Structure 1
Amino acid sequence: MERLICCANTSAFRRDRGCIHVYGSDLELLEQSVICLLPFLRHFSNEDIRKATGGFGRIVSKNSLGSVYKAHFQDGFVATVKEVNAFHQEKDAFFGYVDVLGRLHHRHIVSLRGFSAGPERFLVFEYAENGSLKDYLRDYISREHRNPIFQLGLLILELITGQSPGKEGTDLVQWVQGSNNTHVVHKMIDPDLGNNYDSKELKDLLTLAKLCTKRGAKPTFSIQQILRYLQMKVESLMPVVPHM
Structure 2
Amino acid sequence: MDRLTPKIRHLLLAWLHRTRSGPISFIRQFSYKDIKKATDDFHRIIYSNSHGSAYRARFKDGNIALVKEVTGLSEGKEIFYKEVQLLGRLHHRHLLALKGFSTGDKRLLVFDNIENGSLKEHLNDPLRTPLNWKTRLQIAVGVTAALEYLLFFGGPPVYRVSISSSNIMLDENFIAKISDVSLKSSVGTYMKMPSSCSKECMDQECGNLIFQLGVVILELITGQSSKQEDSDLIQWDQGSRLSNSIHKMIDPDLGNNYDSRELRKL
Higher helix share: 2
Larger Rg: 2
TM-score, with normalisation over the residues of structure 2?
Answer: 0.42
Q: Which has the higher contact order (CA 8 A, sep 6+)?
A: 1
TM-score, with normalisation over the residues of structure 1?
Answer: 0.45
